[in-house]
Amino acid sequence: MTDWLHRQVLVTGVGGLVGSWLVDALLERRARVVCLVRDRVPDSRFFTEALDRRVTVVDGDICDQAVVERALGEYEVATVFHLAAQTIVPIANRNPASTFESNVRGTWVVLEACRRSPLVREVVVASSDKAYGEQDVLPYSEEMPLRGANAYDVSKTCADLIAQAYATTWDVPVAVTRCGNFYGGGDLNFSRLVPGVLRDVLHGRRPVIRSDGSFIRDYIHVEDGVSAYLATAEALAARPELAGRAFNFSLERPLSVLEMVKEIQRAAGSDLEPVILNEATNEIHAQYLNSKRARDELGWEPIVGLEEGLRRTVEWYRRHFATS
C-alpha cells in the first residue's frame, strides 16, 4: 500500500508533536483522516496549522471504547495509527495513575476496538525505546526483553506487550514502532531538551539542562518519525505476516545531552554556556537503538537527519516566537 488515496485512516494523539505531522503527511497523500481529540489545546500545531479544518474530528477519550468503536465503524476506518499517550517522564513521576490510564488502558481499548472491527486492516502502535527499560548491552535490538522499571518506562513496556498479545492471540494486524527522542517544530513541551534549549537561546538566555548532561539518547526528527510510521503501515499492508513485529527507528547516532545542546546551539548560532541543574530522576543513563531490522524488512532510512532536522526546527521556533 503506497497509494493512500481516499483511504480511511484514524489517528490518535494528534495534539502531540508527531501526530500533527503525521496528519499533514496523510493529507498530502490524500487520505481521508479521522482524528480522535480529547483536549483542545489552542497552541497545538494541529489547531494553529488549521489541520482540524481538513479532517474529521471525533471528540472523545481513547479510554472510551464506545467512542473508539463508533469512530472506526461510522467512518469505515481501514488503517489506525495509535500515537496518543502521556509522554513526559516528570509528569509520569508525579501522576503515575493518569499515565497508566492513558498509556496502558488507552492502548488495549484502541486494540480491542480494532479487534471488533471487520474493516481495520493495519494498526501501528507507537511504543518507545523506553519500553526496553535498562539493558546491559547497547544499542538496543528488538530481540531484547522489555523490562521497564520506572513509571513511564513501565507504561510503554505494558502497551508494547499488549499490542503483541493482540497480534498473537487474536490476529489483530498490529505492528509496533520504537523510536528514540523526537524533536521538531510544534513541540510545546518545553521541559524537553530541544524546545527548552531553543526557547532559552533564541531569547538570549543561557540554556537550562535538568540532568547532569551526560545522559545518552537517540534523537530523531519528527518527519523521520512520520516516515517510520508510514513505512510500517505500508509494509504491514503488503505483508500481513509482519503483524506482531516490532521495529526500532534510529539515526544510529547517539549523543549525550551536552553534545546535543552543542548541536542545537550550532544550528541556532548561540554559544551561551548551559546551566546544569542535575535534577533528573528515574531516568536511564544510556539508551539508543539499532534499526537494522527496519532497514532490512521495511526499507526505511532517515531522510532528514540531525543537522537538517535541527535547521528546520530552529526555523520553526524562530517563526513561532516571533508571533507569540
H, E, C per residue of 226-284: HHHHHHHHHHHHHCHHHCCCEEEECCCCCEEHHHHHHHHHHHHCCCCCCEECCCCCCCC
Residues 152, 183, 229, 288: which is the catalytic one?
Answer: 152
Rounded to whole angstroms, the Cα distance separating 96 from 176 reads 23
Question: Quick check: 117 and 158 in contact, CB under 8 A?
Answer: no
Q: How far is CA 126 from CA 2, 80, 102, 103, in A?
A: 20, 11, 13, 10
CA–CA–CA angle 153, 157, 100 (5° rounding): 70
Catalytic annotation on 152? Answer: yes
Residue type, 4: W
Q: Which of 10, 82, 15 is nearest to 52 (CA)?
A: 15
| Structural contact between residues 258 and 264, judged by C-beta atoms closer than 8 angstroms | no
Question: Phi, psi (5° rounding) for residue 285?
Answer: -70, -45
Residues catalogued as catalytic: 152
